[in-house]
Structure 1
Amino acid sequence: MNRTVIPDLPHVLGSLPGAAVTKHMSRGIQAGQERPPQVILRKASNPLPELEDRWRTEPVRELLDEAMRRFAGGRASADGWLAPRLHATLRMTRAEAADPGLWNFLAMIVAPDYVVWRHKGAEIAPAARFAGPHYKQAFARLWWAAELFRNGADYRPVELACRVQDVLNTTMRLDVIDHRPTALAIVGVLERLLADGSPRPGDHINALSSAVNAAGSTLFYDVMAIDDSADADALLHWISESAGMAPVPWDRLPLGPDDGAVRRGSVESLIPLFEQLLLDAPIRRRDGDVNDDE
């Protein structure tokens, strides 16, 4: 495969403050006509521990190059392939992933070309794809999609969730999505919509997301569908295994942290409720075609 050569690619990731991104963002960078000022941005960054393999940039860069090669004919399709593999490569806790500086660094220093490739519309990639909220930023949205929709070590629900962009753009904004049975039940409804060939499934997912959010809080759903606590020790063990680990497989799904699967009964108890909420919810048909590439 032809790899993209990034001059002076840093060995490890770092944390780049959002103020530095804002100061140096330009229309040329968003259009892919200019490269972000690497020397200035790296001076503004705080590098992550050099001795921890999980922060190495090379495995991430290789994944992104492969995604661009594989999905040159359909950029949105890259999300479902890349999300679980990015998550399994960048092994970290949710607290670590909540640092926007990490994603800013990845977008501005390691792979600005990927951001433009994946999210450039008619003219430019939106600034929020370089530095924005977790459901907008080019790489944060994928890592968090894998984190929120995986079922323990199983990333198959993540692939399904990424098939409809509205899951990432709308559903991931909900507070209730932290409740794992809720997240998987929404994916279960989506699976049935796709299997039935429902037209414009994104419109249905937007309606369902609004209805689920309005119908109850996380506590409400937790009473209906028990969500056992994830095994924190198993997660930390999975993270520790990143030392010297081989690159994630490209042609089969990797395994996520074996920190406990969601009870099947919890998910199945919510799916009928969510299907009824969807039946009762107004479906807002958006004018024109939704551009999934953006």
Structure 2
Amino acid sequence: MPRRTPFDVPRTLGVLPDAAVAKYLSRGMQAGQENPPQVALRKESSPLPREEARWNTSPIRDLVEHAMSRFADDRRAADGWLAPRLHATVRMTRAEAAAPGLWNHMAMLVAPDYVVWRHKREEMAQSSRFCGPHYTQCFSRLWWAAELFRDGSDYRPVRVACAAQDILNTTLRLDVIDHRPTAQALLRVFDRLITAGTPYVGDHVNALSSAVNTAGSTLVYDVLAPDSPRLTDELYDWIAEAEEAPAVDRNRLPDGPDDGSVPANSVDALVPLFDKLLAEAPLRRRKPNDDRSEAASLPEQRRGVSLDKQLPPWMV
């Protein structure tokens, strides 16, 4: 039986300022004991520039309700299932996704119950899960994980990115992840660690992420492993197709924008370097009961730009 949403959901996404979240987000909401003040939040919201099918909220509600039912016994495993489907449902450019107001609206007016369900630890979910940086906000982090770790239209690498929470919590923050071969080479190393059942895989993820970020920059890695240009027209075509696209399949991965695959030889060039960095990187051991260092299961399967950082041309 489908869930009954305990509050009215707006028909379309909008923009909700950070100040409104700070004003109305209560401890009761964070604990899942209160519904959002819909009337007040709608007054604080503004509509998106154009009314388009990609902004409809009903497909988002369908996804989060299914995720809460499907992954009731392993909430972290919902990340790998939801990330590619959220990305393929809410189709937009990186510039559009970099606006925090859209994610605030999604978390406060469309699916606050999912935020609490996924991120409630002990008594409540942190406020940053409703309104926070790209690697913390509940929905932004999933959309950006899918955007930055997909290989063109192929979302399979995204499941690896969501398999260990430290990839989302740490690796997603790095500027070098904007370089697609770097992102794919890191995932190849991480996948090997996860498949081998490496204990405390999160410690290895953090160590390698830090080493890769320290050892170079996007420019350096682009010299070692050139990327191919992104096919902008194909991206815009994929976004436009949202007007007629059916709902994403719950049991089969959707197809992302066919805007160019990552050159395999560039990924191959970086993997030995990253293996060497991992072998030399110091590990910071955490307590055995710290579940952030454990890999989540792999089910079937924002990058937000800081407010003080201007968008480079390639993100438009």
TM-score over 0.5 (shorter chain): yes
Q: Counterparts of 1:54-73 in structure 2 under 5 Å? A: 54-73=54-73
Do the aligned partners of 2:115 and 2:130 also contact (CA within 8 Å) in 1? yes
Q: Counterparts of 1:90-129 in structure 2 under 5 Å? A: 90-129=90-129
Deviation of 1:5 after TM superposition, in Å, equals 2.1
Deviation of 1:288 after TM superposition, in Å, equals 3.8
Between the aligned partners of 2:106 and 2:73, the Cα distance in structure 1 is 24
Q: Which runs of 5+ in 1 are unaligned?
A: none
What amino acid does structure 2 have at the position aligned with 1:97?
Answer: A
| Deviation readout 1:116-146 (Å, 9 max, x if unpaired) | 0000001110000000000000000000000
Report the equivalent of 1:206.
206
Deviation of 1:47 after TM superposition, in Å, equals 1.6
| Deviation readout 1:94-137 (Å, 9 max, x if unpaired) | 00000100000000000100000000001110000000000000
Report the equivalent of 2:278.
278
| Deviation readout 1:15-37 (Å, 9 max, x if unpaired) | 10000000112111110011121
Report the equivalent of 2:313.
none
Do the aligned partners of 2:152 and 2:262 also contact (CA within 8 Å) in 1? yes
The worse-fitting range, judged by mean Cα deviation, of 147-156 and 8-17 is 8-17
| Deviation readout 1:207-261 (Å, 9 max, x if unpaired) | 0000000000100000000011110100000000000211000101000000000
1:84 aligns with 2:121: no
Do the aligned partners of 2:7 and 2:35 also contact (CA within 8 Å) in 1? no
Do the aligned partners of 2:182 and 2:221 also contact (CA within 8 Å) in 1? yes
Aligned residues: 293
Between the aligned partners of 2:76 and 2:4, the Cα distance in structure 1 is 20
Report the equivalent of 2:290.
290
Between the aligned partners of 1:50 and 1:37, the Cα distance in structure 2 is 25
Between the aligned partners of 2:287 and 2:199, the Cα distance in structure 1 is 14
Report the equivalent of 2:8.
8
TM-aligned CA distance change 1:275 to 1:149, over 3 Å? same
| SS at structure 2 position matched to 1:241 | helix
Q: Which runs of 5+ in 2 are unaligned?
A: 295-316
Deviation of 1:8 after TM superposition, in Å, equals 2.6
Deviation of 1:291 after TM superposition, in Å, equals 3.2
Do the aligned partners of 2:103 and 2:131 also contact (CA within 8 Å) in 1? yes
| SS at structure 2 position matched to 1:186 | helix
1:245 aligns with 2:245: yes
Do the aligned partners of 1:12 and 1:50 also contact (CA within 8 Å) in 2? no
What amino acid does structure 1 have at the position aligned with 2:74?
Answer: G
What amino acid does structure 2 have at the position aligned with 1:112?
Answer: P
What amino acid does structure 1 have at the position aligned with 2:37?
Answer: P
Deviation of 1:269 after TM superposition, in Å, equals 0.6
Report the equivalent of 1:182.
182
Between the aligned partners of 1:177 and 1:258, the Cα distance in structure 2 is 19
Between the aligned partners of 2:45 and 2:51, the Cα distance in structure 1 is 17
What amino acid does structure 1 have at the position aligned with 2:252?
Answer: R
Q: Counterparts of 1:90-169 in structure 2 under 5 Å? A: 90-169=90-169
Do the aligned partners of 2:54 and 2:91 also contact (CA within 8 Å) in 1? yes
Report the equivalent of 1:216.
216
| SS at structure 1 position matched to 2:243 | coil
Across the aligned residues of Structure 1 and Structure 2, the Cα RMSD in angstroms comes to: 1.2
1:263 aligns with 2:272: no
Q: TM-score, normalised by structure 2?
A: 0.91
| SS at structure 2 position matched to 1:222 | helix
Q: TM-score, normalised by structure 1?
A: 0.97
Between the aligned partners of 1:6 and 1:103, the Cα distance in structure 2 is 20
Do the aligned partners of 2:145 and 2:172 also contact (CA within 8 Å) in 1? yes
1:47 aligns with 2:47: yes
Do the aligned partners of 1:49 and 1:55 also contact (CA within 8 Å) in 2? no
